[in-house]
Amino acid sequence: MSIISKYFAVLRTGLSNSMEYRANFIMNNLFGLVISAMVNMYLWKSVFESTAQATIGNMTMADMLVYIATASVCARITQSGRTERNAAEEIRSGDLNKYLLKPISHTIYTLVSSLSEHISALVFIVLLTLVVGIPLAHSAGVEISVVGVLASLPILFCAIIINSLMSVTISYFAFWFDEVWTFHVVKDISLWFLSGQLLPMSALPETARFIASIMPFQYLAYVPAGLIIGKIPAADMLLHLSGAIVWIGILGSITALIWQRGLRRFGAYGG
């Protein structure tokens, strides 16, 4: 079996598994997205009304509310799932043995399985956005850029890989630690601030904005959301895409290094 066909079979199986409990899948994506977006939008509405400022970070209140909704959608699409976190349990329980005995890369297997979860969520969220999101943005006087939407797609794909690599790397710390769940929680909370889901990078102080501009977190929400609502020119897509690809290479190398070091400690008990 060729390499592509092996991982395509993993992707197909993952898609079937992700849709096994459809009601649970829809509720998790729907309520998780809506609650997150509504809380952040209410927060920013209160900020504008209490400060009486016309713009914050070069955004009007309407711009900000649409940005927050769009950033929440992007963050939901790119968030890591249970597959990457299960890698830690596989190491702890010894189930990792079955991957070591097969001609398959555990890291790539995990990333492809995670991608299947993201594809299922992406289809549902895009449909929800078309039906609800775009009419709401239009009613607020903010036009969604079709070119920006198309430009954001490769960025979102790279962002999915970036977040998955970060989560897999954290899970591989299970070679050294009995419990790594706390690390995942800290990462998720940090990304709420650093990815641009809570506030746009343009609203940050200059020093913080510079640091954020060279880190990979911006690709998870700020950059794709900015492209979609036209706050980031579509012409800048190649520049951001290049940066995202570079970070994939960096994070992939770190993940591979930790995997190799971790295997030296793995006792292969259980499984």
Cα–Cα distance for residue pair 160/164, rounded to 1 Å: 6
Domain span at residue 176 reads 3-263
Domain assignment of residue 240, yes or no: yes
Evaluate whether residue 270 is within a structural domain: no
Which one is predicted more confidently, 118 or 164?
Answer: 164
The larger pLDDT score, comparing residue 120 to residue 93, is at: 93
Interval 26-69: pLDDT, tens:
666 666 677 777 888 888 888 888 887 778 777 888 888 888 88
Average of pLDDT values for 250-262? 94
Tell me whether residue 145 is in a domain: yes
Query: Which positions ≥6 away from 216 have C-beta within 8 Å?
Result: 162, 243, 244, 247, 250, 251
Residue 137 lies in a domain: yes
Average pLDDT over residues 92-118: 82
For residue 34, count CB atoms less than 10 angstroms from its CB and return exposed for 0-12, middle for 13-18, buried for 19 or more.
middle
What's the number of domains the chain is made of?
Answer: 1
Lowest mean pLDDT among 109-123, 132-146, 155-169, 196-210: 132-146
* pTM, two decimal places: 0.85
Q: Is the pLDDT of residue 149 over 70?
A: yes
Does residue 271 lie within any of the structural domains?
no
* pLDDT confidence tier of residue 167, bands split at 50, 70 and 90: very high
Q: Packing angle between helix 61-78 and helix 22-51, nearest 10 degrees?
A: 150
